[in-house]
């Protein structure tokens, strides 16, 4: 039976941190409790359009659905860069990208790390056991499971925070037949992290954190930019603010992310990933070109249409009059009706700010686009 520190060692070798190692009974108990929370989350409509979050909560109430008669679940964290560009003014004609999306998509590489850990344990203990590895890809309530390990907690912003590491992390699990050595040390049990702090709630620009630990996804920039399909209503488009993809505000303002992290900081210059040119984005007309640029990135989740839709919104929100021509081209030529309409809405918004010749140009373009839309 592997001891908790042996699992932690294997995790460290893969650049991961151990968050929890739970026997079946504890995991099932937690998931049953959280299931009730999910029910009320669904009832209040907080899940928005995310159909996968609206599935019957019984699916989430056990891990037997992913590995029948499993014996334990290990939760592990993979840190990603923190967003240190939030105080850098946005360059004109650019949009912000949340730091989880700066590197290649995390799902596959993280899963491979988890598989390597499981294989190492098999070798080390000369025992074959059934296991399955998951990263954000099954009906698993990852944060409550991570929290049960007592090394960190979910904060008021809804994110799992481990003091010393912060919250800029992905969470993944190994569900398996491994027996657990339950000797968890209790001297570092984290109970209340936030105390009287409320920085995340105060700084969330859309008041999406509607109650302690509770996020109304429908108001969250991350949801609107990544998960919400189709057109964005004018109020939603405004809510994106400067964010082209995701949002880091409630993490960046959290004191647990501002100190030094226990792991070495990544010294890569991520500015080219943190700020993306709206002009270049709005020029991507073909799926092939989108794939050439973004295959393997987090943008694949929403695809070309959604990235361009968001770029139109950010252009209007940031008063980017310098890319009016690009918006006009999008409004008339893009193959996606959603992109065309979002471009027209943004042009309408920018018209109010333009003066002289610029204003006449937008007016003419809008009249032509409107005529064409009515004729179609
Ligand atoms: C749906 C989803 C979203 C949705 C909705 C988020 C939400 N609050 O549910 C949207 C698109 C908005 C989103 C945004 C982001 N997400 Co997301 N998301 C998920 C996903 C796929 C499911 C989450 C889920 O089941 N939610 C349902 C609710 C009911 O459960 P829960 O959030 O797991 O847990 C809640 C309860 O435990 C409750 N709770 C716990 N204790 C207590 C105590 C009390 C008193 C109360 C009332 C409640 C309570 O609060 C928890 C947090 O809301 C998970 C992956 C997964 N399978 O878990 C990733 C995941 C949560 N997301 C992740 C990330 C990185 C993000 C973003 C940071 C990305 C970005 N930069 O834009 C943002 C952060 C926004 C935020 N403040 O949470 C990571 C979080 C890592 C971490 N440190 O916590 C995860 C775990 C993915 C992963 N495998 O790494 N996400
Ligand atoms: S991710 Fe942004 S919009 Fe969503 S809760 Fe955090 S600060 Fe608010
Ligand atoms: S900002 Fe403050 S209240 Fe919000 S999660 Fe961090 S410590 Fe908790």
Q: Whose CA is nearest to atom 8 of ligand 2?
A: 204
Q: Nearest-CA neighbor of 75 among 127, 123, 27? A: 27
Please report whether residue 296 resides in a domain: yes
The reported pLDDT for the residue numbered 188 is 57
**Residue among 237, 73, 245 nearest 171 (CA):** 73
The DSSP call for residue 230 is S
* Ligand 3 pocket, residue 156 CB under 6 Å: yes
pLDDT by residue (tens digit) across 208-253?
Answer: 999 889 999 999 999 999 999 999 999 999 999 999 999 999 999 9
Say which residue the tokens 């989430």 belong to: 60
322 found inside a domain: yes
Same domain membership, residue 26 and residue 169: yes
Ligand 1 atom 25: residue of nearest CA: 141
Assess if residue 183 is contained within a domain.
Answer: no
pLDDT of residue 376: 73
Vertex 101: Cα angle to 156 and 299 (nearest 5): 120
| pTM of the shown model | 0.96
Considering the domain architecture, whether residues 149 and 210 belong to the same structural domain is answered as: no
Q: For residues 25 and 157, state if they share a domain.
A: yes
Same domain, 210 and 141: no
Structural domain contains residue 89: no
CA distance 110 to 303: 22
Residues in the chain: 376
Q: What are 304-339's pLDDT values in tens digits?
A: 999 999 999 999 999 999 999 999 999 999 999 999
Strands 243-245 and 275-277, by their bridges, are unpaired
Q: Are residues 265 and 136 in the same domain?
A: no
- For residue 198, the model assigns a pLDDT of 96
Question: Measured in angstroms, how far is the CA atom of residue 262 from the centroid of ligand 1?
Answer: 23
Do 249 and 360 share a structural domain? yes
Ligand 1 centre from 89 Cα, in Å? 28
Which contacts qualify for 201-208: CB closer than 8 Å, 24 or more apart? 201/156, 201/157, 203/249, 203/250, 203/253, 204/157, 204/249, 204/250, 205/239, 205/241, 205/249, 206/239
pLDDT, residue 185, reads 45
| Residue at token pair 């009059």 | 321
Q: Closest Cα partner for 311 from 249, 367, 243?
A: 243
Give how many domains the chain has, as a whole number.
Answer: 2
194 lies in a domain? no
Q: Which two tokens stand for residue 366?
A: 């809008």
Does residue 257 fall inside a structural domain? Answer: yes
Q: Which residues form the pocket of ligand 1, taking CB atoms under 6 Å from any ligand atom? A: 34, 37-38, 41, 50, 53, 98, 100, 135-136, 140-144, 154, 157-160, 167, 169-171, 212-215, 217, 220, 222-223, 226-227, 246-248, 250
Which parts of 83-230 are beta strand (E)? 94-97, 131-134, 153-154, 160-161, 169-176, 209-211, 214-215
Q: Identify whether residues 230 and 351 lie together within a single domain.
A: yes
| pLDDT at 370 (0 to 100) | 87
Pocket test residue of 168, 216, 222, 238 for ligand 2, highest count of atoms within 8 A of CB: 222
> Which atom of ligand 2 is the closest one to the Cα of 200?
7
> Distance, CA 246 to ligand 2 centroid (Å)?
9
Residue 96 lies in a domain: no
Give the model's pLDDT for residue 232: 97
Task: Check whether residue 266 and residue 211 sit in a common domain.
Answer: yes
Statement to judge: residues 135 and 251 lie in one domain: no
The whole-angstrom separation of Cα 293 and Cα 303 is 11
If asked whether residues 248 and 133 sit together in one domain, one would say no
Ligand 3, from 168, 199, 253: best to mutate by most atoms within 8 Å of Cβ?
Answer: 199
Are 233 and 330 found together in one domain? yes
Instruction: Quote the domain boundaries for residue 335.
Output: 199-375
Question: For the CA atoms of 23, 28, 34, 39, what is the dihedral angle to 10 degrees?
Answer: 160
- In the predicted model, residues of the chain with pLDDT beneath 70 are 182-189, 260, 262-264
Which ligand does the CA of 83 lie closest to?
1
SS3 assignment, position 72? strand
Token look-up 């640029």 returns 293
For residue 228, count CB atoms less than 10 angstroms from its CB and return exposed for 0-12, middle for 13-18, buried for 19 or more. Answer: buried
Do 158 and 14 fall into the same domain?
A: yes
Give the ligand with the smallest distance to the CA of 204.
Answer: 2
CA 209 to ligand 2: nearest atom:
5
Residue 142 in domain: yes
Q: Give the chain's radius of gyration (CA, Å).
A: 23
């Amino acid at each position: 039976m592997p001891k908790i520190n042996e699992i932690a060692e294997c995790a460290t070798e893969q650049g991961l941190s151990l968050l929890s190692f739970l026997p079946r009974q504890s995991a099932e108990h937690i998931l049953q409790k959280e299931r009730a929370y999910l029910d009320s989350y669904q009832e209040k409509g907080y899940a928005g359009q995310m159909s996968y979050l609206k599935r019957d909560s019984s699916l989430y109430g056990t891990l037997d659905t992913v590995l029948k008669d499993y014996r334990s679940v290990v939760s592990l964290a993979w840190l990603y860069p923190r967003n240190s560009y939030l105080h850098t003014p946005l360059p004109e004609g650019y949009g912000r990208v949340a730091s989880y999306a700066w590197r290649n998509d995390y799902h596959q590489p993280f899963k491979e790390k988890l598989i390597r850990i499981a294989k190492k344990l098999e070798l080390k203990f000369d025992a074959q056991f059934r296991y399955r590895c998951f990263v954000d890809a099954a009906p698993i309530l990852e944060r409550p499971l991570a929290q049960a390990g007592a090394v960190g907690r979910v904060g008021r912003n809804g994110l799992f925070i481990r003091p010393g590491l912060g919250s800029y992390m992905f969470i993944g699990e190994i569900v398996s037949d491994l027996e657990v050595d339950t000797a968890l040390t209790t001297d570092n049990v984290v109970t209340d992290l936030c105390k009287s702090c409320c920085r995340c709630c105060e700084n969330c620009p859309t008041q999406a954190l509607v109650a302690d630990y509770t996020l109304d996804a429908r108001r969250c920039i991350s949801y609107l930019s990544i998960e919400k399909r189709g057109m964005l209503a004018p109020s939603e488009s405004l809510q994106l603010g400067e964010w082209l993809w995701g949002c880091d505000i409630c993490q960046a303002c959290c004191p647990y992310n501002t100190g030094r992290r226990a792991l070495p900081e990544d010294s890569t210059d991520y500015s080219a990933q943190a700020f993306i040119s709206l002009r270049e984005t709005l020029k991507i007309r073909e799926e092939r070109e989108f794939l050439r640029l973004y295959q393997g990135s987090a943008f694949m989740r929403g695809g070309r249409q959604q990235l361009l839709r968001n770029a139109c919104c950010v252009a209007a929100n940031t008063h980017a009059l310098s890319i009016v021509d690009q918006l006009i081209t999008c409004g008339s030529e893009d193959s996606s009706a959603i992109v065309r309409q979002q471009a027209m809405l943004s042009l309408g918004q920018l018209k109010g700010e333009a003066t002289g010749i610029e204003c006449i140009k937008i007016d003419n373009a809008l009249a032509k686009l409107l005529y064409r839309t009515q004729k179609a």
